[in-house]
Structure 1
Amino acid sequence: MRSSIPWLVAGLPLLLAGCAANPPPSNAPEPLGQAEFDTRIQELEASLTQQCDFRALESRQQSQHQTLLSNMHEVGSLLRVLQRDVADIEARGEEPIILREECEVSEPQSDKTLLGRSEWVGFPAIGTYLKARIDSGASTSSLSASDITRFERDGENWVRFKLALNDEDVVVENVRDEWIEAPVQRRVRIVQASGEETRPVITLLMTLGPIRENVDFTLNDRTHLDFPVLLGRRFMMDIATIDVAQTYIHDRPEFPGGEPADQAADDEVAEDQDETEE
């Protein structure tokens, strides 16, 4: 036991030298306290939340971008259609016929005007005559129209259309393919055997013999029927009566580019198709 003491004393400087050679690292992080730990956790949570919110915002922006692109494509398609229509008008060097309600109408008469079941009617604003079926069984009057397009002008609802006519329909030829624009007075619900639909209503100055009245017309395609114009009982009320045994009692009106009234007999062929509409 005593013999080992000198060896321990001799090795003590070496042990101390080894400890001095490997001191603890001076830059080691100090342990975090509870408050500092909680603060760091909260900062990490806030950072993750911000990243999630950014990704959600990015997803919404991508969705909105796709919606805008879709709307732009739709608008572009509509613009191309309008450009083609404008190009057609410019190619013909013509302006669309713009219709507005006119105040120059017939004076009230004590006696009602007698009408046949078929008559010629004139539309001064359009510049043409057309055949009309007079039908007290129909509530509203109707004008045959195609390419019906709604639009807005000066804050009002308007409609743009062409007369829908068959090749055999008698008309002043230079207005057959004219664009016509008119303000929409209202829309009406039409009930037929085939179902229900709504149609725009416009007001047109119309002449028929001594009658000169602003008449409300619904617009719809009547090319499957014999008459491009139907006059209903709302038109006839207080101003006309009908004799179904007669046709074309009154002369055909005359317009520039049209045929003389005395040549109308060649076009006056009686049609008996039932066209009653409600």
Structure 2
Amino acid sequence: MSRRLLSTGALSLGLLLIAGCALPIEQGETESVLGPDEFALRIDRLETDLATRCDLQQASLTENARRQETLVADVREVGSLLRHLRADVERLEHAESDPALVTQECATVEPALGGKTVVGRSEWIGLPDVGTYLKARIDSGANTSSLSASEITRFERDGANWVRFKLGLTEDDVVVDGTGDEWIEAPVERRVRIVQAFGEGTRQVVSLMMTLGPIREPVEFTLNDRTHLNYPVLLGRRFLMDIAVIDVAETYLHERPEFPGGRPADEAEADENDRDDEER
């Protein structure tokens, strides 16, 4: 009898031990169960974190693209400078092969100016490829020359980058009739980065043949809207270098070039009443 009671007690104790494994964990050790609101809040946090990481990655990709574009622009600028250097070398070689011509040119050089053309602070320039004249402000404080352009459109031709645009003009600008509506196409020589008060940007640079008095040279122009300024053309240091000097006390020292459909050069004086002699 006592042995049976002992066996029964042992069995009961074993069942209690086994059942103890299934008993609920005491308070403070229970694993919390997320309710619907807490689950939604956690999902929102995960989405926010994922969106933040995506934004950071996109910003990094944008910055890398900008740096790549800047490097490409620098490489194109070096290529443009090399082309101009090659043209200068060819001119020097031609001059050495024709000493009589060099002697004749040197005879007309003014020693004080080193053969440079004197220009006023504002002048008439001609764009033979466009067929028009324009007023230009000469400013040694600017590096690259600038041409007012509108409807600027980039495109590719034979694997090279080109640009199509129209002259950006106001009703006060004096040009050959009809040229303001004509499309102009030119290869993009390079791009320059512009830093202004409201941020940075880049502009296409094209090379156009330009005349100013006795000067006939290809000039690099940045393309941008200058209709809020007083002159559709700005000529900077790159144009002046080695070929011209400014007499700031003078304006329009050289005749306005003539083009078919334009007014004669002797009528230019009537169009030379500048709106404002200050360029902003």
TM-score of the superposed pair, with normalisation by structure 2: 0.59
Looking at structure 2, the residues matched to 166 and 182 of structure 1 have their Cα atoms a distance apart, in angstroms, of: 23
**1:155 aligned residue:** 159
> Partner letter of residue 272 of structure 1?
D
**1:219 aligned residue:** 223
Looking at structure 1, the residues matched to 184 and 115 of structure 2 have their Cα atoms a distance apart, in angstroms, of: 34
Aligned-partner SS, 1:189: strand
Looking at structure 1, the residues matched to 279 and 152 of structure 2 have their Cα atoms a distance apart, in angstroms, of: 25
Correspondent of 1:122 among 119, 122, 126: 126
Would you say 1:143 and 2:141 are equivalent positions? no
Aligned 8 A contact 2:132 2:179 in 1: yes
1:1-278 alignment runs, 5 A limit: 110-270=114-274, 271-275=276-280
Q: CA deviation at 1:196?
A: 1.7
Q: If you compute each CA radius of gyration, which structure gives the higher value, 1 or 2?
A: 1
Runs of 4+ in 1 over 4 A off after TM superposition: 106-110
Count of matched residue pairs: 172
| Deviation digits for residues 126-182 of structure 1 (CA, Å, limit 9, x no counterpart) | 000000000000011000000000000111100010000001100001211111111
Aligned-partner SS, 2:135: strand
Looking at structure 2, the residues matched to 262 and 168 of structure 1 have their Cα atoms a distance apart, in angstroms, of: 19
> Partner letter of residue 181 of structure 1?
E
Q: What stretches of structure 2 of length at least 5 have no aligned partner?
A: 1-83, 96-104
Aligned 8 A contact 2:190 2:204 in 1: yes
| Deviation digits for residues 2-47 of structure 1 (CA, Å, limit 9, x no counterpart) | xxxxxxxxxxxxxxxxxxxxxxxxxxxxxxxxxxxxxxxxxxxxxx
> Partner letter of residue 175 of structure 1?
T
- The Cα RMSD (Å) is 1.9
Looking at structure 1, the residues matched to 272 and 227 of structure 2 have their Cα atoms a distance apart, in angstroms, of: 18
Aligned-partner SS, 2:257: coil
Aligned-partner SS, 2:182: coil
Looking at structure 2, the residues matched to 168 and 274 of structure 1 have their Cα atoms a distance apart, in angstroms, of: 16
Looking at structure 1, the residues matched to 182 and 167 of structure 2 have their Cα atoms a distance apart, in angstroms, of: 8
Looking at structure 1, the residues matched to 182 and 141 of structure 2 have their Cα atoms a distance apart, in angstroms, of: 31
Aligned-partner SS, 1:181: strand
Q: What stretches of structure 1 of length at least 5 have no aligned partner?
A: 1-100
Q: CA deviation at 1:111?
A: 1.2
Looking at structure 1, the residues matched to 279 and 176 of structure 2 have their Cα atoms a distance apart, in angstroms, of: 26
Aligned-partner SS, 1:176: helix
Aligned-partner SS, 2:210: strand
Looking at structure 2, the residues matched to 268 and 192 of structure 1 have their Cα atoms a distance apart, in angstroms, of: 30
**2:72 aligned residue:** none
> Partner letter of residue 250 of structure 2?
Q
Aligned-partner SS, 1:173: coil
**2:78 aligned residue:** none
Q: CA deviation at 1:274?
A: 2.7
TM-score of the superposed pair, with normalisation by structure 1: 0.59
Aligned-partner SS, 1:201: strand
